[in-house]
Amino acid sequence: MKIKHSYQPLTYITMSIVGITVLAGMLLSCNIPIFPGISVNGSTSALTQTTTATASVRVSNFCSMTANIQPGEEHSATLIGGQYQSDIGKTTIQTFCNDPNGYAIYAIGYTGGDEGVAEGTNTVLHSNALGSNYDIVTGIATSGDISNWAMKVSSVPGTYEPTILSDDDGPYSDYHIVPQNYTKVAKFNTNTDATIGSSLTTTYATYISSTQPAGTYEGQVKYVLVHPSNSLSPNFNMQNVDEWGPTIAIGEEVTADDLRDGKSYSVRRMCMEGTGNAWQQKEANCTSSMLWMTQNLDLDLSSSTSLNSVNTDLNDITSRAYTNGYSIDDNGVIHWTPATTTITSIDAYDGRFNGWTNNNNVAYSADPDAGSPDSTWYATGDPNTYDNKCLYNNNQACNYLVANNATAHKLFQRAPFTTNGSHGKVGNYYNWSAAIASNNSSSLTSSTYNNVANNPQNSICPRGWRLPTISSIAIKSEFAQLNDVYNGNSASNGHDFVRSPVYMVWSGTINNGALNEAGYSGYYWSSTVSTAYDAFYFLFRGNLVSPALVNNRIYGRSVRCVSEY
């Protein structure tokens, strides 16, 4: 039995404390002649008044973690059914943190989203050898019919010895169920010193039932350091990607919340250039990477509610494309009110979005999940035998399943956006004006294909994110880079894009309100201008991949946002 320990050196700085102001105690004195000619004791004299200035210096918070596995202390064991073993391996986690309000360490049982594991859950560990029926669940039993494993956290004596915490299942200083949600396992309250730090160790235990098949099983626990110590949780928000984004390793996926509407998105650091044949090899030898949403954007727009530069990718208010509906307040915050509201009225017969107008200048968007629960325009179709509701150019959408996927992952599903990890969520459709957050995009007339620095600087993506670019310059053509790494630069196999780890969707396109090619093709907008009427987009289907196509801005298409953090 092999248990694999995974450590990611994540730190999270809360928005409420970004630094501590320290008065240096240095007085600057200067003689400043003011109020000349003031009368003193009845006589006129030039009075000199002394003014004292106090200088201050700001010391920013800095907190980090490092992990060390000594030789001979690897997290691995070999057992047979019916055995229990504790103290599997030992990892020392060293913390360095100068936050005077202390820090906390959270842990969570981590699943990699392999086949047989429910997306977004931590109730079972993923197995490289067998399906979910035989995975090892979290627990502390030492006998019985279920294989399970546990963890124990110990403080290492030192100047700053962290406190090991407890919850309803008992103290983490004893063997304890691996938490299924982010749980605080240790903390140090006050007066930390970055030059000294503190340490704790983790070990694991496992019980293997008599019915467990032979094989190698791997489970992961992720640790996150958060400060100050009273932080509620290590919460990833799309809008503070500048804080947590740089800590995400290539190939790592996290879930982040969009503060604008509370919806959650899976986010993964993708390799943009690497060496090797398979994408796994390229990730292992990657030289350039970016964060990509692995779900389609699902933000509804409203003509009565403004977005702003605190929560949205709004940077420009000077160009003509960003005048209508735009304003800037006294604090320098940019506000944009969309000219139209996301369309939620769907014709149950032919799947037409009532009220959609083909307009290449004004923002239009549509939400396919807004219809009544008994709408019949979503049909179910076998992915290998298109029925009459899944045909190319048919107006009706279909519930499309990935071919050759045992878990039958739904790529076009009508389930509401209520759970994390739903990669197949279709999201909303946006025409290009909506995608770039413009009520009057017709002023953008010149191609930016050869210089994406001239692309529109606003989008409906969260703050810190933007639309991908398409360019004649290879390193700026981001859809092409993604295709090169994760699809072997194929021009004829779009199936790889709907699979792990990219998870794009055959969501189709809207033309004049009618949804076409759902379950057959995927269309994704870029921020690159082509002509006064056209923009660049990415297209893929089962037998075609086109990373740089041009078409009219009127069409409703999907959006994936990227971040350079």
For residue 43, being part of any structural domain is answered with yes
Q: If DSSP codes are grouped into helix, strand and coil, which group holds residue 243?
A: helix
Question: Are 95 and 67 contacting, i.e. CB atoms less than 8 angstroms apart?
Answer: no
DSSP 450: T
For residue 280, being part of any structural domain is answered with no
381 and 443 co-located in one domain: yes
228 and 106 co-located in one domain: yes
Look at residue 194 in the predicted model and tell me its pLDDT: 62
262: Cβ–Cβ under 8 A, 6 or more apart, which residues? none
For residue 258, being part of any structural domain is answered with no
Look at residue 154 in the predicted model and tell me its pLDDT: 92
Which residue range(s) make up the domain with 40?
19-60
501 and 399 co-located in one domain: yes
Look at residue 405 in the predicted model and tell me its pLDDT: 30
Look at residue 554 in the predicted model and tell me its pLDDT: 97
78 and 140 co-located in one domain: yes
373 and 320 co-located in one domain: yes
Distances (CA, A) of 216 to 79, 113, 185, 198, 204: 11, 17, 28, 34, 16
For residue 474, being part of any structural domain is answered with yes
Q: Report how many domains make up the chain.
A: 3
d(C-alpha 561, C-alpha 437), whole Å: 13
Q: What one-character-per-residue DSSP string does 310-363 give?
A: TTB-----SSGGG-TTEEE-TTS-EEE--SSPPB--B-TTT-BBTT----SSS-
pTM: predicted TM-score of the whole model, two decimal places:
0.65
- Which of 216, 235, 254 is the last residue before a domain boundary? 235
Which segments in the chain show pLDDT lower than 50? Answer: 1-43, 111-133, 372-421
Look at residue 95 in the predicted model and tell me its pLDDT: 85
451 and 542 co-located in one domain: yes
d(C-alpha 394, C-alpha 382), whole Å: 16
210 and 353 co-located in one domain: no
Look at residue 346 in the predicted model and tell me its pLDDT: 74
